[in-house]
Structure 1
Amino acid sequence: MRFFGSSLASTAAIIALAPAAYAQDGNASEILPEAVAEGDRVDGAYAPGHGNDSGVSTIDRQEIEARTPGSGDVNQLLKILPTVQFDRHEGLAEPETIQDLHPAKISISGGRTYDNLITIDGIDANSRFDVHEDSPVSINEVAGNSAQTLWLDSELIGAVTLRDSNISAEYGRFTGGALDIQTRDSRREWGASAHVSYTSDELVNYVVSNGTQASFDASGDPLPEAPDFRKWRFGATMDVPLSDKGGLIFGVNRSRADVLYYRSANYNYEPGYRHSISDNFMLSGDYDLQPDLKLSGKLTYSPYESEAAHQNGINNLITTKGGGLAASLKLAATGNLRWTIKASFAHSDSSREAPPTNYNIPSDSSNGNFCSNASCTQGGFGDLDQKQDTYNLSARMAHDLGPGELRGGLDYQHINALRERPQTYRAYRSALVEDENENPIYPASIVCADGDSLTCVTGEYALGTYGEYRAYTADIDLDNVAAWMEYNVYLGPVDLRAGLRYDYESFLGNHNIAPRLAATWNAAPGWTVTLGANRYYGRSMLAYAIREQYPDNFSYERRGTYVGDQYVVSDSDWYLSKTSVPSGYSSSELDTPYSDELTASLGAPLLGGTARIKGIYRKTKKEFARSLRKQEEYVLETGDITTRRFYEMTNDGHSSYRGLSLEWLRQVGKHSFAINTNFSKTKSDTENYLETSFLLTEQDVDVVFNGEIISLVDLLNRNQRMEFASPFIVNASWSALWLDDRLTTNVNLRYRDGFSQIEDININETIDGRRYDVYDVVKYPDRINVDLNARFDVLRSTAGTLTADVRVSNLFNTIPSKDSVSISNPYQMGRSFWLGLKYRY
């Protein structure tokens, strides 16, 4: 365990010495100049919605500052909300995971990670590309794609609002939940802030699961070196007033991770750091054109890049991009007729840059003597361009009508998605051989007619095969049109909200109508009972449409010509030897996935605070899945005939979710408490849209369970989803002010209960002469995690405030994933620290 005295001492110095200095001799005015009052209470962990907005929860700026982890990822704030699920294996200390600066993937109310509507300042930030590829060395796919195309550091965020149920007709294109992230607004007065924070492997106490330790003990091998890394976050903001009618805010932020990697043993364990960088630039402003008319604009630019390289090779650096640009302009009016008109544009770039050619060269040659294998590899897999542009124009209107309010709106969205291999990529291999018995050519006999290159060196070698992956362009346009209307009426103690939403998307060509209905009975002051029945339609995804346009793959070979005792090899000798065809895909005549929801909630005062009990039932149908449509003969360019498999996208997937959450929040002076829990069961017949429903693949398969022969489909239907679906969680948060409001602390607890799954246990049993796979119950352990954030105002004066910041993850050093067993990456993140300073004026 690498973390000890130095990090603990630095932490103690920041959160202990400063308040001690403040208290010494009672001379606070000499050590700390005039204080600037900033309030004497803390906000609640989040603000729960009430009545027909029972599914709404909002986290404000103060809590964002207090509770965000050191990484600055605002998605992590959602761990205080009961209906949000996170990766079950979060906390593994794999170098790639440490280096990754993407926002955390989330599931809301049983939806998959790509089923949510995520917006930043109301701008759509959802990817239409395949988001499941995780290998950066994939030939045809870009790795590390996030379902969220745009993201910003917490320093630039003003509020985060989650909608998990009873969602207004204003929101569409989701079957999970709606997450709206709002950037900070200008204060309309001069102000500035700057911050810096840091963590590294020296500030981490690595832990190892019992299973992993047992594997090393059994083998007798020592544990490898723990991951070596360092991370920085730094940035600044400035508020600029534009008279008393408006203001601007400028913001810039950078997050950087550098992680040490080693090539494989055959490449001498050569070390090298690789980095990820996430930059944020923001310009936001608003101006009151009239007392009831405001013009506002937002511009954010958030490029991202991450380096990767295969450990078995050199000169193979791959840089994957991410993030992008978002801009919006909004005109809003208040008064009797309340309306907004908004135009926005979002561009995301998740392309890949890599060397265009790959070579596998004999190691006993002058070009290939950099490894101990028989042959050595260098080069990459070629560039892939992947970009998405979203244009949006929307209008909203609200007007008082009779005993209620009538609201409605129109949305038009145009999306262009581009996937392109801009140039043909080649992979060379297979040194030439003399005859069919594969006796190697003596190096001295080879002559390169076209001069020496990486494919041929006179007197040494000539490569005799290459695979060709040809350039292609998949360019897809689609249009979304949506209209919605909603009437909120107040009939004595009953509030009724009736809404209807219409969506049309040109790619699927479906006209979807989604009713939304909610009713609240205000039984007594503070007491509300809410019922809701709603339908939510999802959106298309383009993975199949893009794969449909992949070109065939080609293999070329060459043989030289003997001229005397010389074997002459020329580039003109290449000939097409083989063609392979990728699987075919199609996605025509699909329905739009939809989720039907029933929900009920109770809001009530309890023990001086507020309680909310909420039940959600979801049934999601027509989910995207894969099906083998046909196999047919295919004539290759060589004239040979092969069999090609054609897959089609289907609506065979389905899911269900049942959840019951209990929440309680209370503020007591300078202390704020929140505790909640969620009991849920989530079932799906596919993990994602690139899988075939087990209802089809396993429909005729029988297995043995508890000594009985049973249909595998019936057995699998008993399981709940493995990932992002823990059946029982408990969250708790405590925020407090101390020492004349100079010290702010926040403690967050999250408990995830263990659960059981029915799985193949790799045993076979023969009954009546027939062999069956044996299935049994496999138990997965629970996990508890506690985080601590502490901020102390070291210096306060009329010139500003200097704050020391300590953010501790996994305070009690628990093992994040107890069931993980890994030899290649044995470590997990135990107690870890971020240390920082912030100045604000």
Structure 2
Amino acid sequence: MKCSATSLGAIALVLASSTPALAQAAQDAEEAEALPEAVAEGERVDDAYEIGTGNDSGVSTITRKEIEARTPGSGDVNQLLKILPSVQFDRNEGIADREAIQDLRPADISISGGRIYDNLVTIDGVDANSRLDISNDNPFNFNEVAGASAQTLWLDSELIGAITLRDSSVSAEYGRFTGGALDIQTREARRTFGASANVNYSSDALVNYIVSDGTRAAYEASGDPLPDAPEFRKWRFGVSLDAPIGDRGGLLVAANRSRADVLYFRSAGYDFEPGFRSSVSDSFLVSGNYDLAPDLVLSGQVSYSPYESEAANQNGIDNLITSKGGGLASNLRLTATGDVRWDIKASFAHNDTSRTAPPANYSIPSFSANGNVCSNTNCTQGGFGDLDQTQDTYGLTAKIGTDVGPGELRGGLDLQRIDVLRERPETAFAFSRALVEDADENPVPPSAIVCSEPDSLTCVTGEYALGQYSEYRAYTADIGIDSVGLWAEYDMSLGDVDLRAGVRYDYESFLGNHNVAPRLAATWNIAPGWEITGGANRYYGRSMLTYAIREQYPDNFIYRRTGTYVGGDYVVDDWNLYRTSVSTGYSDSDLDTPYSDELTAAVTAPLLGGKLRAKGIYRDGRDEFAKSLRRVEDYVLETGATATRRFYVMTNDGRSEYRGVSLEWMRTFGKHTIALNTNLSKTSSNTENYLETSFDVEEEGEFVFYGGEVVDLVALLNENQRLEYASPFFINASWTALWFDDRLTTNVNLRYRDGFEQIEDTGVNETVDGRRYDVYDIVLYPERINVDLNAQIDVLRSSFGTLTADIRASNLLDTIPARNSVQISQPYQYGRSFWFGLKFRY
């Protein structure tokens, strides 16, 4: 680890240098104030996050004040989870390629070693997890959408009231995960009148771009200059209104929009034509609560968060693709308190990850009138057609609890119906292979071409005729599954020991497995504030429907045509089937449900006026989904040629391991709160996702050259840490403070990620005893330190409301995110960058 005193000193220097300017701004604002103040005195900061105690030692909650203080300018609340030691993020964050800049979806996260799709994510308790394929990020894929992400629904930070993470020792109430459980709660409607409006802005003018040494060296070696840095502009703005419902309830109506516009350029053949592509993420929320009786509350929320992102291939025209995401979440809840405590909630969630695209793609000779849009031999226009993809989740949960003997008995029901649809509503086409003089087969002078049909983009008399097209036929694939969960839990105290024993039963009709997961935890209260907690738990995952959907894809068909000379004319013939491209076969059969076994221990204690939590998590993931080749089948094409079709089956060959130790300390004193934590872990797995073959199978029997000798590749790969979402050591620090009569709120976040080593293929070969082997060696992934600073200052306070100026700075020390990155097409990384904003609250 190389977190030096120099780095910490630089942070202190930045803060010290900024304090006079902030103080002067506060003084100027106070002198400009014309109306009397109407603010509450004695404001205080919240803890950076609230630490769960006792048998809830795996719980951490971030409250509204810290959400306001620490959220980055993008409004992505998932980024707040960087302060929690069990959460991992993409190692390549900070690469400033245009697609990443334009992407407004929330950051993917790994919790306690789970993959990004292994978590239970809920919005106000409503399931927000995809059952569909999230692996494709290429919007130009002819047969797959690119809008799907692990989290199907999300909202702007302005609408979030609290975030609760459960990373270990999770109650039996929560199921369908093998990573962690994340519940994002929207802001509760207030029972008094209130309103707010906000606007935030960032652009490339507020970013210092950085280029890694490796990328710069690659450009110098090629002799090419660096391309222009990405140009973009981003806006976030929104409004909210709170109103009472009599004296027994409240209603909240809010709307927010985030928009990114990024400048792209087409390729050299298309004269580098510039054009902006946009992404838009909306957040609408209607939330209310009403006291039906002193011990009975009716509440409900409806949130709508549609997302659209534009893309256009640089090698073509008229090819705009719009990928969708997000959707709708709604719930109605009745909660009773008293001797018997119960809660019942009905919910519905809709996720739309469809795409719209032109229905046909054409590759047309550039010498023709239709194709004269580029300098290449052939010019491309159009796309590969619309794809519809949706997921609907209907839910009903009920839970009840009452005191029984020395403790509390709780139990509940968790029902879901999930309907997924994948559809190509209309057949799409891709036309190519012009019949011209320089064609590979049957060269034809353009002037001789005579179309048998009226002129179109596929044929123009006297110019060209396209001789091949691929047909992607319309289809509908839909699946419905039922999910049943039952759970019971008993909490009791026996002197200084608190015990929690629970069990959860889950069944999903798709896999057809009956899964029983025990959950056990015990806490010894050894002294006031001192607790030692231990737990042993099993967590079962959920069905993934990617393979079942792909199993229903139709075959693809290729048609060709030539022509016949009649005198000096070349009359184009009709189309004939040339080849059937049989889709890859997939299937699911006799699969077990993935599960993770956990042992955990935690100590919580008072220390130096604050709170300390030390925690260890030991996880073994088994029966995880992976791909395996089932059989290879030869068949005869219509042309008489022989082709091969591969059939894959989904298996339980995947596995993972997580060993993590974390140490957390936080303290709130006066107008300041400080949080420090660190995590040391190792995460390993034999697959990256469910569409990969495990290396235990794929590399079985393979030998490579490493460390001067020939070794077994599987054994070598098992030594590696997982590459993504698995930094083995990091340190987090957060400091939130109020200044100048609570007019100024500042927050500083520091994250240090240590470097680590991986054993990888070097691309070199070595011959040993007459046999060639791939050479493997150790590759170093360097360390990184990142500091963010947020500052909010009330420039005007009056009886009519408060106007706040907002600045959010990322990577304050201007460090390079990925020092070993070598990217030629888009070489830039984010250095220091800023968001500026204003917010009015009444």
Query: TM-score range, shorter-chain basis?
Result: over 0.9
Paired position in structure 2 for 1:730: 731
Alignment of 1:559-578 (within 5 A): 559-569=562-572, 573-578=574-579
Name the TM-score, length of structure 2 as normaliser.
Answer: 0.96
Q: 1:88–1:254: structure 2 CA closer, same or farther, 3 Å change rule?
A: same
Deviations 1:110-137 (A, max 9, x none): 0000000000000000001110101111
Match of 2:583 in 1: 582
Q: What secondary structure is seen at the aligned counterpart in 1 of 2:697?
A: helix
What value does the CA root-mean-square deviation take over the aligned residues? 1.7
**Superposed displacement of residue 220, structure 1:** 2.5
Matched, 1:277 2:290: no
1:394 to 389, 392, 397: 397
1:439 deviates by 5.6
Paired AA for residue 426 in structure 1: F
Question: Which of 815-824 and 613-622 deviates more?
Answer: 815-824
> How far is 1:705 from its partner?
1.3
Q: Counterparts in 2 of 1:734-745, with a 5 A limit? A: 734-745=735-746
Cα distance change of structure 1 residues 247 and 38 upon mapping to structure 2, 3 Å threshold: farther
SS at match of 1:417: strand
Mapped to 2, the partners of 1:15 and 1:727 lie a distance apart of: 35
Post-superposition offset of 1:569: 2.1
State the match for 2:694 in structure 1.
693
For residue 49 of structure 1, the aligned residue among 52, 66, 76 is 52
Give the alignment of 1:129-278 within 5 angstroms: 129-278=132-281
Q: Aligned residue for 1:20?
A: 24
- The alpha-carbon deviation at position 144 of structure 1 amounts to 3.6
Percent identity, aligned pairs only? 71
- Residue 440 of structure 1: how far off its partner (Å): 2.9
- Residues 1:125 and 2:139 are matched in the alignment: no
Matches of 1:798 and 1:763 in 2, distance apart?
A: 72
Please give the alpha-carbon distance, in whole angstroms, between the structure 2 residues aligned to 1:304 and 1:498.
42
Q: Secondary structure at the residue paired with 2:66?
A: helix
Query: Could you tell me the TM-score, scaled by structure 1's length?
Result: 0.97
Q: Post-superposition shift, 1:12?
A: 14
SS at match of 1:776: strand
Residues 637-678 of structure 1 show CA distances to partners (whole Å, capped at 9, x for unaligned) of 667653211000000010000000000000010000000000
- Looking at structure 1, the residues matched to 627 and 646 of structure 2 have their Cα atoms a distance apart, in angstroms, of 12
1:761 to partner: Cα distance: 1.2
CA distance in 1, matches of 2:375, 2:577: 32
Note the alpha carbon deviations across 1:224-277, whole angstroms, 9 max, x for none: 110000000000110010011101000100000000000000110000000000
CA distance in 2, matches of 1:362, 1:336: 80
Match of 1:416 among 408, 416, 419: 419
Residue 16 to residue 132, structure 1, CA distance change in 2 (3 Å): farther
- Give the match for residue 837 of structure 2: 836
CA contact (8 A) 2:259 2:281 kept: yes
| Equivalent-residue separation in structure 2 for 1:614 and 1:36 (angstroms) | 41
Q: 1:219 Cα shift? A: 2.2
**Equivalences for residues 477-488 of structure 1 within 5 A:** 477-488=480-491
Q: How does 1:326-337 map to 2 (within 5 A)?
A: 326-337=329-340
CA distance in 1, matches of 2:88, 2:315: 36
Hey, what's the Cα distance between the residues in 2 that align with 1:639 and 1:474?
31
Question: What is the SS of the residue equivalent to 1:730?
Answer: strand
| Other-structure match for 1:804 | 805
Counterpart Cα distance in 2 of 1:539 and 1:93: 34
1:806 to 1:454, Cα distance in 2 relative to 1, 3 A: same
Relative to structure 1, is the Cα distance of residues 599 and 383 closer, same or farther in structure 2, using a 3 angstrom cutoff? same
Q: Which range moves more in the overlay, 259-268 or 434-443? A: 434-443
Give how far 1:633 is off.
Answer: 3.0
The letter for the 1-side match of 2:725 is: F
Query: Map of 1:358-437 to 2, 5 A cutoff?
Result: 358-433=361-436
Task: Look up the SS of the partner of 1:321 in the other structure.
Answer: strand
User: Does the CA-based 8 Å contact 1:420-1:471 persist in structure 2?
Assistant: yes
Name 2:11's counterpart in structure 1.
none
CA apart distance, 1:33: 3.3
* Structure 2 residue runs without a partner (length 5+): 1-14
Q: Which residue pairs with 2:467 in the alignment?
A: 464
How far apart are 1:433 and its partner, in Å? 4.9
Does the CA contact (< 8 Å) of 1:610 and 1:666 recur in 2?
yes
SS of residue in 2 equivalent to 1:79: helix
**Residue 797 of structure 1, CA deviation:** 0.8
- State the 1:558 CA deviation: 1.1
Q: Secondary structure at the match of 2:224?
A: coil
Partner of residue 493 from structure 2, selected from 490, 495, 512: 490
Structure 1 CA distance for aligned equivalents of residues 222 and 633 of structure 2: 49
* 2:644 alignment partner AA: T
Offset, 1:438: 3.3
Q: Tell me whether 1:781 sits opposite 2:767 in the alignment.
A: no
Amino acid at match of 2:820: D
**Which ranges in structure 1 are unaligned for 5 or more consecutive residues?**
1-10
CA distance in structure 1 between the aligned counterparts of 2:17 and 2:673, rounded to whole angstroms: 26
Kindly indicate whether residue 618 of structure 2 is the aligned counterpart of residue 617 of structure 1: yes
The equivalent residue for 2:3 is none
Distance of 2:16 and 2:236 partners within structure 1: 21
Classify 1:655/1:22 alpha carbon distance in 2 versus 1 (closer, same or farther; 3 Å).
closer
Deviation for aligned residue 1:411: 1.1
Which of 22, 28, 36 in structure 2 is aligned with 1:33? 36
Q: Which residue of 2 aligns with 1:99?
A: 102
Match of 1:629?
Answer: 630
Q: Which residue of 1 aligns with 2:513?
A: 510
User: Cα offset for 1:213?
Assistant: 1.3
Number of equivalent positions? 828
Q: Give a deviation string over 1:29-87, Cα, whole Å, max 9, x none.
A: 85463241264211110001011000000000000000000000000000000000000
**Deviates most, 546-555 or 156-165:** 546-555
Q: Distance in 1 between matches of 2:27 and 2:416?
A: 59
Corresponding residue SS for 2:730:
strand
Note if contact 2:703-2:773 (Cα within 8 Å) is conserved in structure 1.
yes
1:757, CA displacement in angstroms?
Answer: 0.6
- For structure 1, which segment, 170-179 or 641-650, has the greater mean C-alpha deviation from structure 2 after superposition? 641-650
Tell me which amino acid in the other structure corresponds to 1:654: R
Residue matched to 2:9: none
Query: Aligned equivalents of 1:437 and 1:671: distance in 2?
Result: 74
2:7 aligned partner: none
Query: 1:562 Cα deviation (Å)?
Result: 2.3
Letter in 2 for 1:23: Q
Contact 1:262–1:271 (Cα < 8 Å) also in 2:
yes
Aligned to 1:8: none
1:6 corresponds to which residue?
A: none
Task: Give the distance between the partners of 2:76 and 2:654, measured in 1 at CA.
Answer: 32
Matches of 1:439 and 1:618, distance apart in 2: 63
CA contact (8 A) 1:14 1:806 kept: no
* One of 321, 325, 333 as aligned partner of 1:322: 325
Q: Tell me the residue number matched to 1:704.
A: 705
CA drift of 1:353 comes to 0.3
Out of 273-282 and 694-703, give the one that drifted further.
694-703
Deviation at 1:703, TM superposition (A): 1.2
Q: How does 1:65-76 map to 2 (within 5 A)?
A: 65-76=68-79
Deviations 1:407-454, CA, capped at 9 Å, x for gaps: 000011000000011111100001125799736322221112211110
Q: Helix, strand or coil: the match of 1:332?
A: strand
Instruction: Give the whole-Å Cα distance in 2 for the aligned partners of 1:713 and 1:22.
Output: 62
Which SS does the other structure have where 1:689 is aligned?
coil
The match for 2:8 is none
Look up the match of 2:658: 657
The aligned residue for residue 756 of structure 2 is: 755
> In the aligned structure 1, how far is the partner of 2:20 from the partner of 2:558?
67
Deviation >6 Å, runs of 4+: 11-18, 434-437
Letter aligned with residue 313 of structure 1: G
- Cα contact 1:15–1:791 (8 A) shared by 2: no
Opposite residue 103 of structure 2, the aligned amino acid is D
Of residues 296, 306, 309, the one that matches 2:309 is 306
Q: 1:487 to 1:436 in 2, by over 3 A?
A: closer
